[in-house]
Structure 1
């Protein structure tokens, strides 16, 4: 069906207008985040200097809640953007489904990751918890403002390793090595899974449907599988991402209360500003379809659940964008930007977190 040029022109202008409005909203969000972080940051520095342990414990909880909120905004927002960008469901439906799934994931899956991060890897006192979470919040806030790609898991683990080393705190470097290997293997597995799954569907079923009408009819059959994929991804975020951001508090709280704290933060982010990220991603990724979205999300979700079962934290966002990249290459499109994003976290984010935390460990 041929669409008149004027209609396309008007649609293009509408997309540009929505993008501009969403960017303005995100700019206001970033300014608000800076204000919150500056207030909390100065309060944290004061209490660390004063050695006020009770206040530091409270601040560590607040920073963990802030990081969980950030996961709800950015990680959940990006995932929702893929779902609504493919046209599988409306934003409100996606928010409800993913929100309920995150709560279930936090309740039944996050305990494994919490124990790994806050017990088996390292057990910090109030000072260590506060330092690690402040550095994580600082780097995430700065990179969000500069629109630089970085993954929360790298920052939390890097800061923990750096501070533990210079502060003379017992740290399980063997487990840390295994987690680093998992952070390398998981995006590779997501990429391969996304590529093979979409390529298989394309060659065995999609290519047999020659007309646009037949292809659209076949794509619509993936609406329910797409919802299942969204549920699996949300369960993974509830288990993995929540476990990572609240795991450092394991020394002062049990796994159950920490799961509730993390879930509350993610749901808060999901229901406040995640839709802005979702709309931006949904508009930006204009060539998504139900099959492509399903292939990327189910591949990343299965990889994430596998590592949760093994009690090893990974980066959900990194795995998802790698799976999306695999789907893109199966279609003949190379995602160079995605590769740069992952390399940035490996060679800039992780070392920077280690160095900052190590420096504070020497000073405090």
Structure 2
């Protein structure tokens, strides 16, 4: 019975990972597609492959998600908490995908963990939530906006005397590299979150000890994220690539360079599970503001900000409802 429950949780975790892939595919490739640096299909193949590679680059973020957010009870009650958290995250991902809002799959999962833990009267490690989630959630968009704007200003100064058509052509080529770096960072960050949840399920089920990630968990998480990415996220891609600002290749390059740098820094240095969605969106807003403030469609940005703010509590509520529905089955 316990083994069956663990398998069910792992299957649902893989489904979440897949929805994460198609929900967040736009993070890596929307700017490159919008500037015509890459065709949509080529961009998706590249993003899927780089997501796969990125997932093998580290497990520090997985340890944070698996052991630094909640303390789940052993056995069936703990598995119900993890399953409810995943259901809450999947539901919120699908809602925001349907409306084309680039919300955070990472924060949906963490909100789900917190909501399910609270519903079960379990333990939430609020210090870890504050240090690893809330503070990075607030700081990463601010840093992305300011740093992307600064990078764009430097690029404008360096290429101020260049011919626009030649500059655009060069940056389209450069964007193939920056888009690949962005996809690699997405795989590094987001696949690890699913790894952490699977390890948590194995631990509470009694089939694993510690926070070390087994090789097969890495492989499964990487594969599901990569397949989900290849499935695409066209609704969100339109929002990021066209509705916020009309991007040109230099601005697309600056946004991707900035966002990927932040993803690597937070993963390798701070082991913080930040949102790739927030990071790239704020970077796009930052490069857009250097053109002129009116060039940015701030109303669209405001709608995205609302989705960001709602994600943690909304996913927590969905997970709490899921736990209350599951609870009679495990008692």
Q: TM-score range by the shorter chain?
A: 0.7 to 0.9
Bigger CA radius of gyration:
1
How many pairs are equivalent? 306
- Closer, same or farther: CA 106–205 of 1 in aligned 2, 3 Å: same
Offset of residue 255 of structure 1: 4.4
- Closer, same or farther: CA 196–70 of 1 in aligned 2, 3 Å: same
Conserved? CA contact 2:101–2:239, under 8 Å: no
Conserved? CA contact 2:85–2:115, under 8 Å: no
- Which residues of 2 match residues 15-34 of structure 1 at below 5 A? none
Alignment of 1:269 with 2:228, yes or no, is yes
Alignment of 1:259 with 2:212, yes or no, is no
User: Which of 268, 274, 281 is equivalent to 1:314?
Assistant: 274
Offset of residue 115 of structure 1: 0.8
Report SS of the residue matched to 2:123.
coil
Conserved? CA contact 2:145–2:284, under 8 Å: yes
Aligned to 1:112: 60
Alignment of 1:139 with 2:102, yes or no, is no
Conserved? CA contact 2:80–2:323, under 8 Å: no
Q: Could you tell which deviates more after superposition, 181-190 or 115-124?
A: 115-124
Q: Higher relative CO (CA 8 A, sep ≥ 6), structure 1 or 2?
A: 2
Alignment of 1:164 with 2:117, yes or no, is yes
- Closer, same or farther: CA 166–272 of 1 in aligned 2, 3 Å: closer
Report SS of the residue matched to 2:124.
coil
Alignment of 1:175 with 2:138, yes or no, is no
Once the two structures are superposed, residues 230-253 of structure 1 have per-residue CA deviations (whole angstroms, 9 ceiling, x without a partner) of: 122111111111122342111317
How does the TM-score come out when normalised to structure 1? Answer: 0.76
Distance 1:130 1:87 in 2: 41
- Closer, same or farther: CA 233–131 of 1 in aligned 2, 3 Å: same
Alignment of 1:199 with 2:147, yes or no, is no
Question: What 5-or-longer segments of structure 1 have no aligned partner?
Answer: 1-51
Report SS of the residue matched to 1:331.
coil
Conserved? CA contact 1:191–1:325, under 8 Å: yes
Offset of residue 326 of structure 1: 0.4
Give RMSD over aligned pairs: 2.5
Alignment of 1:339 with 2:299, yes or no, is no
- Closer, same or farther: CA 182–99 of 1 in aligned 2, 3 Å: same
Distance 1:361 1:99 in 2: 33
- Structure with higher helix content: 1
Aligned to 2:144: 190
Distance 2:137 2:239 in 1: 27
Question: What 5-or-longer segments of structure 2 have no aligned partner?
Answer: 73-77, 203-207
Distance 2:43 2:318 in 1: 38
Once the two structures are superposed, residues 253-306 of structure 1 have per-residue CA deviations (whole angstroms, 9 ceiling, x without a partner) of: 734322212211122123334467657865657832221110001101101111
Aligned to 1:42: none
Distance 2:234 2:306 in 1: 27
- Closer, same or farther: CA 120–295 of 1 in aligned 2, 3 Å: same
Offset of residue 90 of structure 1: 2.8
Distance 1:354 1:274 in 2: 24
Aligned to 1:352: 314
Aligned to 1:46: none
Alignment of 1:155 with 2:108, yes or no, is yes
